[in-house]
């Protein structure tokens, strides 16, 4: 039985999102060893993580615009090359400012080239199985803590943080260039007909919306603000998860294993909530997921034992991992595939700005109060705000079909 090429694109997207985004977010594992080896403050090292998300957000719109015009393959290839250069150069940095600029700007800009373009191309290949396809690509990102983080921790233990970062930079480049070459545009029949064997689905007979028009809709504003607050709520607890566990007396590799458990749970959450959204709709599933995320973020205030960390990581990652693909689904449903790269790039930019708050906020909280308590209280409040904004979603108005007049 012939495997439709759309699934090859999905598999390539999973690999790219796993390795590329895992490399971007691996700074959470480097945080404590780098601070101890160099004497750089946790706030300073975390600042590089904040710059990653700022650069990712600033570049996401541009990458999405290029994706709509050039296609996904050249965009992702450019991002892979920039990612490798950034990691290799950052491993040689001799000052904190140099590291922040190189890692933050180069790696962050590279990171912006993956999420929106890969989700867009996966959505373009599928019709009736679209939620599953985008959930699987997003699941690659969820696998990153399970796959990349333990490798990084092992390399740091066996060598040092500089060798580990250099190795990750080289390995990511070697692995991802062939994967990016597998990405293709769907044949013209695919967007209209779905995968082979599925009937065509009629599209609404409406004039095509431009990106400029989309940006002025209340639906776009609500999506962007919700994604911003959602990521602002979970970025701090995720980034400082390993360091917080180590501060509670948990061994380094065990602390990294919590990060891995979260990655595995996030993978399940993407698939579970993706299936649920096919049945109940993306908006109600998103609201429910955001509510669970807020409660879980606040619960970190009360945990200190390894078993408690594992249990909370499962619930927290199930929620924050599960809601991520739903934003792409809502953008496609509201605005269509023609401008999805640009619009979802803009929504992803807002999400990246939200992610930028967590690392530096957590570092500042720790350095100021010698603990992470206020980080989790703040994440709980922001998470509730994300849920409240999500409730304001309204579909894009579409013209009613003309009534057929009796003869």
CB 50 within 8 A of CB 133: no
At 359, list the tokens. Answer: 């690392």
CB 334 within 8 A of CB 396: yes
At 42, list the tokens. Answer: 């946790």
If one compares 46 and 302, the residue with the highest pLDDT of the two is 302
Express each pLDDT in 146-178 by its tens digit.
Answer: 788 888 888 988 888 899 999 999 999 999 999
- For residue 219, give the nearest of 350, 333, 61, 385 by alpha carbon: 333
Q: What is the pLDDT of residue 388?
A: 94
Pick the CATH number of 5-183+208-390 from 3.30.70.100, 1.20.1250.20, 1.50.10.10, 1.10.940.10: 1.20.1250.20
Straight-line distance from the first to the last Cα atom of the chain, in angstroms, rounded to the nearest whole number: 51
CB 352 within 8 A of CB 57: yes
Residue 405 DSSP symbol: P
Express each pLDDT in 99-154 by its tens digit.
Answer: 988 898 899 899 888 877 888 888 777 766 666 777 788 777 767 767 888 888 88
Burial of residue 233 (CB within 10 Å: 0-12, 13-18, 19+) is buried
Rounded Cα distance, 138 and 118, in Å: 9
Express each pLDDT in 312-346 by its tens digit.
Answer: 999 999 999 888 888 888 888 888 777 877 888 88
Dihedral angle computed from the Cα positions of residues 273, 132, 22 and 120, in that order, rounded to the nearest 10 degrees: -120
Q: Which of 56-65, 268-277, 365-374 has the highest mean pLDDT?
A: 365-374
Express each pLDDT in 26-39 by its tens digit.
Answer: 887 888 788 888 88
Q: What is the pTM of this model?
A: 0.69
HEC states along 242-298?
HHHHHHCCCCHHHHHHHHHHHHHHHHHHHHHHHHHHHHHCHHHHHHHHHHHHHHHHH
Rounded Cα distance, 62 and 363, in Å: 30
Classify residue 281 as left (phi > 0), alpha (psi -120 to 50) or beta: left
Across all residues in the chain, what is the average pLDDT?
A: 82
């Amino acid at each position: 039985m012939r495997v439709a090429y759309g699934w090859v694109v999905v598999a390539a997207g999973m690999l790219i999102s796993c390795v590329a985004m895992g490399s971007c977010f691996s700074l959470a594992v480097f945080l404590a060893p780098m601070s101890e080896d160099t004497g750089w403050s946790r706030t300073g090292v975390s600042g590089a993580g904040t710059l990653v998300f700022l650069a990712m957000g600033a570049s996401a719109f541009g990458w999405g615009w290029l994706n709509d015009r050039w296609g996904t393959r050249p965009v992702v290839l450019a991002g892979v090359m920039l990612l490798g250069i950034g990691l290799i150069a950052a491993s040689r940095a001799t000052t904190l400012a140099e590291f922040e600029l190189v890692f933050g700007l180069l790696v962050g800009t590279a990171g912006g080239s993956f999420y929106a373009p890969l989700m867009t191309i996966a959505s373009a290949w599928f019709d009736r199985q679209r939620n599953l396809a985008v959930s699987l690509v997003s699941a690659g990102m969820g696998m990153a803590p399970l796959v990349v983080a333990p490798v990084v921790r092992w390399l740091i233990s066996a060598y040092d943080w500089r060798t580990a970062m250099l190795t990750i930079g080289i390995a990511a480049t070697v692995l991802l260039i062939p994967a990016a070459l597998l990405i293709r545009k769907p044949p013209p029949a695919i967007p209209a007909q779905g995968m082979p064997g599925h009937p065509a689905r009629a599209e609404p007979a409406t004039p095509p919306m431009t990106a400029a028009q989309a940006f002025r809709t209340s639906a776009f504003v609500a999506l962007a603000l919700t994604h911003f607050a959602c990521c602002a709520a979970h970025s701090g607890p995720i980034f400082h998860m390993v360091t917080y566990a180590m501060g509670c007396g948990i061994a380094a590799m065990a602390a990294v294993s919590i990060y891995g458990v979260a990655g595995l749970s996030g993978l399940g959450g993407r698939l579970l909530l993706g299936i649920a959204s096919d049945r109940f709709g993306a908006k109600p599933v998103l609201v429910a997921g955001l509510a669970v995320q807020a409660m879980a973020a606040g619960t970190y205030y009360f945990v200190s034992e390894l078993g408690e960390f594992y249990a909370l990581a499962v619930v927290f990652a199930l929620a924050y991992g599960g809601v991520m693909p739903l934003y792409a689904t809502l953008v496609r449903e509201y605005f269509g595939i023609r401008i999805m790269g640009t619009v979802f790039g803009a929504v992803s930019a807002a999400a990246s700005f939200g992610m930028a708050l967590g690392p530096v906020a957590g570092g500042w909280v720790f350095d100021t109060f010698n603990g992470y308590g206020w980080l989790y209280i703040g994440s709980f409040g922001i998470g509730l705000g994300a849920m409240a904004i999500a409730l304001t979603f309204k579909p894009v108005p579409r013209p009613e079909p003309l009534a057929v007049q009796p003869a």
